[in-house]
Structure 1
Amino acid sequence: MSEKPTALFVCVHNAGRSQMAAGFLEAIAGDRVRVRSAGSEPADTLNPVAVQAMAEEGIDIATRTPAVLTGDAVADSDVVITMGCGDACPFFPGKRYEDWKLDDPAGQGIEAVRGIRDDIRRRIEALVDELGV
């Protein structure tokens, strides 16, 4: 792994789970890690309930834009984490790869999204410990 590891969070629409994970990793690890997120079929905008749930934690993801997943982003990342999207999330052989089984916040209310958010936070905290950053 490079001196400063790069983590890539991948989700189909890059509008909820992957954006929350990126927001938490940036907030917790700061500049000790490079953070990217992308989607195989990115949405036009972020999920507003995910934005609200993160704002409750003091993390502003409102200005983020869903991005398309590229081979270069994968190649430049030390850790690739998919968000439990099933077959819609590609597998990346040769990388440190994890698939986090997370409910999709799309169409869910704030209570459900808070639970997803809190699960993501716990996983990010464990990832930070594993990376030693």
Structure 2
Amino acid sequence: MAYLAFAEPGMPAIPGYAVPAADAPASFSALEWSVVALAERDPLSSLRSPGRMAVALGSLFGDRPNPKLADPKLEALRRLAVLTWHHGFQVAQSAVRGFLEAGFSAQQYELLTGSIVSARVKRRRQTR
């Protein structure tokens, strides 16, 4: 009886069987990182639709540019990034759920929050 150890490197693969790849490290594209960087300057009010007073003032003095992004996936990223820039790890579960439902992974969420929180800490140390 022959025995093949398929786990050893250099051994032939089993036909018709795909070996599950190891989890690739989470990453964002350059466009997605730029959305995260721009979200740092967005106020929390950019996440809400403008109220009657804001609409009235906008008609008198000119409208503010709308920071909302046309791509729903990028808008979900922007929304979570704005919340994370302002609140750190204390983000509502509904915002995280929206981020995940937009097509991002839990690993990308961890990468996003980790990088934003470390940038916040670094900036606080520089201002002291």
Q: What is the TM-score of this pair, normalised by structure 2? A: 0.32
Q: Which has the higher helix share?
A: 2
Q: Which has the higher strand share?
A: 1
